Amino acid sequence: MVKIICKVDILAIGAHPDDVEVGAGGLMAKFNQLGLKTAIIDLTAGELASNGTPALRSQEAQQAAQILGVVWRSCLGLPDRALAASRANINALVQMIRESQPQLILCPYWEDRHPDHVRAAQLIEEAWFDAGLAKIATQGQPHRPPNLWYYYLSRAGEPKFIIDVGEYYEIKRAAMLAHLSQFGKLAGSKETFLNCGPGSLLSLVESRDRYFGSLIGCSFGEGFTTRTPLAINNPSALLGVLK
């Protein structure tokens, strides 16, 4: 696991090494361009994927991180296809949240075709809550980020808000394509939902991002949701989003 080297403003967490790029790559690139510090945690190495080895996927993940501009990326090393909200797993993630002190956590949407994405959402929610409890014994001071946003992977709900990422979409696309073992066709690659046909995940994501963008009058948008209403302390900040 890569050592956390600094605190960050935004912490994006995915079950597999390409999840954050797919669901929130545009937003991560936008945050970085705005001068905010971002980081990524991959809960697993994606070792059970049909294509690619853990070593190759780790290299691809670090290349994608450089493209996005994140300050660090770490793999928690939990077992692929066996994610669970166990006490040990929760505590491991609690410690990373406390050490990195983010103000926002990005998390997979709680409904998806892939069971690991669903279980990742549960694990992250548990760790997000416990990170604020003083009697949960891990290193670091109690810290519960005030914001928890959910990004979409293969299944999307109705977004509570959509962020214009048109200016950053080529960065998102490059970061996704850095995961060549998953989205490309190397020698000996198996055809999967990720890399094959007009209904592939890449096609689905780009179509959805174009659609979300059309809803807010831009070329590409990423949709997000929350469990609870967003609290707006400064309503004048909303004037910038009115059409």
Residue 220 belongs to a domain: yes
pLDDT for the residue 1: 45
Residue 2 belongs to a domain: no
Residue 117 belongs to a domain: yes
Q: Are 218 and 166 in contact (CB under 8 A)?
A: yes
Tell me the residue range of the domain where 87 lies. Answer: 10-241
Residue 4 belongs to a domain: no
Distance separating alpha carbons of residues 222 and 241, to the nearest angstrom: 15
Q: What is the count of structural domains for the chain?
A: 1
pTM, to two decimals: 0.94
Distance separating alpha carbons of residues 115 and 125, to the nearest angstrom: 16
Contacts for 60 with CB less than 8 Å, ≥ 6 apart: 17, 18, 52, 178, 179, 180, 181, 182
Per-residue pLDDT band for 4 (boundaries 50, 70, 90) equals low
Q: Are 45 and 57 in contact (CB under 8 A)?
A: yes
Kindly report, residue by residue over 123-163, the tens digit of the pLDDT.
999 999 999 999 998 888 999 999 999 999 999 999 999 99
Residue 1 belongs to a domain: no
Distance separating alpha carbons of residues 165 and 163, to the nearest angstrom: 6
How confident is the prediction for the chain on average, in pLDDT? 93
pLDDT for the residue 243: 52
- Helix (H) or strand (E) holding 87, with range, is helix 87-100
Residue 5 belongs to a domain: no
Indicate whether 192 pLDDT > 50.
yes
What does the pLDDT average to over 87-114? 96
Residue 141 belongs to a domain: yes
Distance separating alpha carbons of residues 237 and 221, to the nearest angstrom: 19
* CA distance readout (Å), 194 to 51, 127, 168, 199: 10, 29, 22, 9
What does the pLDDT average to over 55-67? 97
Give the three-class secondary structure for 71: coil
Q: Which two tokens stand for residue 100?
A: 């990195």
Residue 36 belongs to a domain: yes
Read off the CATH number of the domain in which 153 is found. Answer: 3.40.50.10320
pLDDT for the residue 110: 97
Share of the chain above pLDDT 70, in %: 96
Indicate whether 44 pLDDT > 80.
yes
What does the pLDDT average to over 15-43? 97
* CA distance readout (Å), 114 to 16, 36, 80, 223: 11, 31, 11, 19
Indicate whether 3 pLDDT > 70.
no
* Nearest residue to 40 via CA among 63, 70, 4, 2: 70
